[in-house]
Structure 1
C-alpha cells in the first residue's frame, strides 16, 4: 500500500514538473527574438516611411548596423550595441560601453502599446541590463569624460559635477537597453539605451531620481540623419532596426 502511494505521488510530481517545463517553453517561445544583426531603416515606430523601392530607399538610408541580438541558451539572449555609431563619443567612451556587454542580464515582458500590431495590443519588451554597480565620484567623472563631446552635453555634465557638495559621493550606475517587438516580422525597435547614475546616501540607498542621465540612444539617433533631413523627425524618440538577411 505504501509502495503504491509512493508511486502515485511520484507520478503526480513528475506530471507537475512536465507541466511547468511545458509552460516555461511556451512562455519563452512567446518572448523569442529573431537573433541576428539589425540595420537601421526609415520608419515611424517600425512602420516604413520614405521611399519604398529598393533603389530609392537605399539612396537615402544610412547603411548602419544598430545592434545585434545573439542567443545564449534556450530562452536567453544578449545584445551587442554598435557603439561606433556614437560619433561624438571618444574611442575610450565607446569601448567602455562595449565592455559592459560582457556580463548582462536579460528579461522580457509585455506592455500595452497603441503602436503594436499584436492582437492583444501589447508590445514585447526585451530588457538587457548591462551595468548595475556602485561607483565613486572619480570613476563617474572619468566615465562621463568619454561620453558625448558636444558642448551642450559637456556643459550639462560639468554643471552637475560642480554642484556636488560631497567629494566622497558614491553612485549607483545602471546602464540598460530596451528593444521592443511591435509585431512586425524581423523588425525591432530600439526604445531606450541609457546610463543612469543615482546618488547613494550614507546607508547605501539610492535616490529615486537619477543624479545624471546619459541618453546613448538619443546620441545614436542624432547621428543617422542631418538635422535638415526630412527623415530626421522619425528618429526623434526611437529608431527601428530590420534584421539583415542574405541577399537583402
Structure 2
C-alpha cells in the first residue's frame, strides 16, 4: 500500500521523530528541565500541584531503587527530589509524574521566550491541508498533554494549536500496547480503521495496527534506523509531503 491510497477521518501524530526532531527533545527540552528542576521545585514546593507530583514520584518503583542506591539515608526534601528527577531524565524514563513536572517547567520557559517548539518545515502545510480536507488531527505522545500543547502553541512555525482537536499522553496507556489505541479511537468516537497513526517507532505502529488503525512510519533525519523486516512490514515516508492529499473516506 502506498501513501496515496490512504484515507482517514483522523490523523493521529506522534511528536518526537514525527513532527519534531528527536534532537530538540533530547538536546534542548530535557537539559532545560534538568537545569531548572531545582529552582522550580523550590518556588512551588508548597503548592498543591507540586505536592501531588512529589507524592507520585515517590510511588514509582524507581524511587525506592534510587534511595537504596544512596550511601546514606535521606529525608524526602527538595534536594532529594531534584536529584531523583535528574536521575529519571538522564535515563529517559517515560514516567507520568516526571512528564507532568517537565511540562510545568517548560511552560515557564516558553512563557519567558527561552524556548521555541521545533517542528519540521512540512508540518504546518500538512496540518493546514488536512484541516482543509475535513480531517481531524490528534496527538499521542509520551510527553504530557501540557507539554504537547506548548510545543505546538509556541512553535517556530507559529501557533499550530488551533489545528489540533485532541491530545493523548501516557495517562491513556503505554504507546506500545494496542489497548491504548483502542481507547483513543473510542475517545475520538471514530472506528479505528478510520484513524491514520504517524510515528517513527515500529513497536508503536504495530500496537496501533493491532487495534485496527492504519499506520505509516516516518524516516526523519536522526530517527533510529529500521531493520529490513520492519521496512517490509510497514509503509514508510520521509516526511508529510507525501500525505498532503490525504482525504476522508468516501461514504
TM-score range for the pair, normalised by the shorter chain length: under 0.3
Higher helix share: 2
Task: Decide which structure has the larger Cα Rg and report it.
Answer: 1
Higher strand share: 1
* TM-score of the pair, normalised by structure 2: 0.25
Higher relative contact order (CA 8 A, sep 6+): 2
